[in-house]
Amino acid sequence: SQQGEEDPQALSIQEGENATMNCSYKTSINNLQWYRQNSGRGLVHLILIRSNEREKHSGRLRVTLDTSKKSSSLLITASRAADTASYFCATGFGGSNYKLTFGKGTLLTVNP
Amino acid sequence: KAGVTQTPRYLIKTRGQQVTLSCSPISGHRSVSWYQQTPGQGLQFLFEYFSETQRNKGNFPGRFSGRQFSNSRSEMNVSTLELGDSALYLCASSLGTGATNEKLFFGSGTQLSVL
């Protein structure tokens, strides 16, 4: 079963607006990662936040993590048409059997 | 540095056939993971190989198998194809140090259609 669940499933905004996507998960994690996928292509890593971190920034991206609520959010500021893609959260857990489990993603459409 | 390379990009097969997909990881990466992506189930973990050994496995039937060669290149095989096997198969590589904060580098995938 999927570990992470993104919300909303789809989001449509205008260029220049901010986009916020949320991710909830069920069990303990070592880290939570966000990936982007353009239609029919491979995923590209965006940002990783460790379980002992609360907030992280990378360019126009801001990720927060609340381990008590088992949730994370990805904020994209000043969105551009090129940000149109599916965004996935992935939870990393385990020691020697560490693996990443992905949610079903949020489809973001940025209209010019 | 070249990225993760998957071949072929597209594949059309009929039910009952078998198929082999190939993945070349980023140079220096020793771990290769495979994922199946479908609209209904999303991204599902198939298995991970490290140093020619399967280190982790998802919940897929035995028809799905894989292997890794000494140069870290990996192949996955699906035997007795079913219509439901139609999917985008993604390969991802990582350093494989065993650190629990590694990120994955994905290939562009192989789009498999089973008719």
Q: Where are the alpha helices (DSSP H) in B1-115?
A: none
Q: What does the block give as tokens for A35?
A: 């990936």
Q: What is the pLDDT of residues B21-41, one digit of tens each?
A: 999 999 999 999 999 999 988
Res. A93: pLDDT tops 90: no
Write out chain B residues lying below 8 Å of A25, CB-based: none
Looking at every residue in chain A, the average pLDDT score rounds to: 92
Name B7's bridge partners.
B22
Distance CA B67, CA B81 (A): 18
Q: What is the pLDDT of residue A3?
A: 65
Distance CA A57, CA A74 (A): 10
Distance CA B102, CA B80 (A): 34
Q: What is the pLDDT of residues B53-101, one digit of tens each?
A: 998 899 999 999 999 999 999 999 999 999 999 999 999 999 877 666 7
Residues 6 or more apart whose Cβ sits within 8 Å of residue A17 = A79, A110
Q: What does the block give as tokens for A30?
A: 């070592």
Q: How confident is the model at residue A86 (pLDDT cuts 50, 70, 90)?
A: very high
Q: What is the pLDDT of residue A100?
A: 87
Residue B19: closest CA among B73, B84, B63:
B63
Q: What is the pLDDT of residue A2?
A: 46
Res. B11: pLDDT tops 60: yes
Res. B17: pLDDT tops 50: yes
Write out chain B residues lying below 8 Å of A33, CB-based: 103
The amino acid at residue B16 is: G
The amino acid at residue A84 is: T
**How far does B54 lie from chain A, in Å, by closest CA?**
10
How confident is the model over A42-71, as a mean pLDDT? 96
Q: What is the pLDDT of residues A101-110, one digit of tens each?
A: 899 999 999 9
Residue A51: closest CA among A32, A69, A23, A64:
A32
Distance CA B18, CA B82 (A): 10
Residues counted in chain A: 112
Res. B45: pLDDT tops 50: yes
Output the CA angle B105-B52-B98, nearest 5 degrees: 55
B contact set with A (CB within 8 A): 4, 33, 35, 42-43, 45, 48, 55-56, 88, 90, 92, 98, 100-109, 111
| A2 in contact with B, Cβ within 8 Å | yes
